[in-house]
Chain A
């Protein structure tokens, strides 16, 4: 069954703007991961945040996790056209690295 749900489903912004994508999930988790998928390509891992962490940074990416609200957000600052892709959150409830993916947010960054 689908665990995570992202919103918005689609986001269109101009280069230089920030993009925020949200993910909600239903059951308790061990960790949450964000992945990027460029059109016609495989998924690329961005950030993994453990359930006991609240925030993580990686370059222009910032991920927050609120386990009380069962939600996470991915912030991309100073976006670039190359950030155009679909972004997925995936939750791992524990054991076997079994990731349950959300439906994704399609981000379009216009030059």
Chain B
């Protein structure tokens, strides 16, 4: 029973192409995230959606566009891929409210290689 799933697991593509990564969670969470982990294992948040509303939008090139069709799904579309986009992209989800703090549940990651 996969909690947070991502597809595809591996993605190899050429510079200039457009690609999408999909994420789904079956935990009933209302908040989802996209992270990028570079080759040095440094993990950085890119976007977050709460109930389909964008609430975190870090300094990310506008070639990256997230879309949340519903609370259980968050997709990431990348236009005009560049070599520097090569990384592992992680989706995560959590609950969110103003009264307490919650841990995040991560997907298995999508390894993107741009050649």
Contact = CB atoms under 8 A, between A and B. Distances in A.
Given A33-B103, A45-B105, 20 more contacts: A31-B101, A35-B106, A37-B41, A42-B107, A43-B90, A43-B92, A43-B104, A45-B103, A48-B101, A92-B101, A97-B104, A98-B45, A99-B45, A99-B104, A101-B42, A101-B43, A103-B40, A103-B41, A103-B42, A104-B41
Interface-central residue, B40, B41, B50, B107, by most chain A CB under 10 Å: B41
For chain A, which range describes its interface: under 10, 10 to 19, 20 to 34, or 35 or more residues?
20 to 34
A82 interface: no
B106 A97 contact: no
A96 B55 contact: yes
Contact of B43 (A41, A50, A88): A88
B44 interface: yes
A48 B41 CA distance: 21
Interface of B: 4, 31, 33, 40-45, 48, 50, 55-56, 90, 92, 94, 96, 101-109
Interface-central residue, B102, B104, B105, B109, by most chain A CB under 10 Å: B104
A94 B95 CA distance: 14
Given A42-B109, A43-B106, A96-B55, A86 B101 contact: no
A42 B90 contact: yes
B101 A30 contact: yes
Interface string A16-27: 000000000000
Contact of B108 (A41, A48, A99): A41
Nearest to A86: B41
Given A43-B106, A45-B103, A48-B103, A98 B56 contact: yes
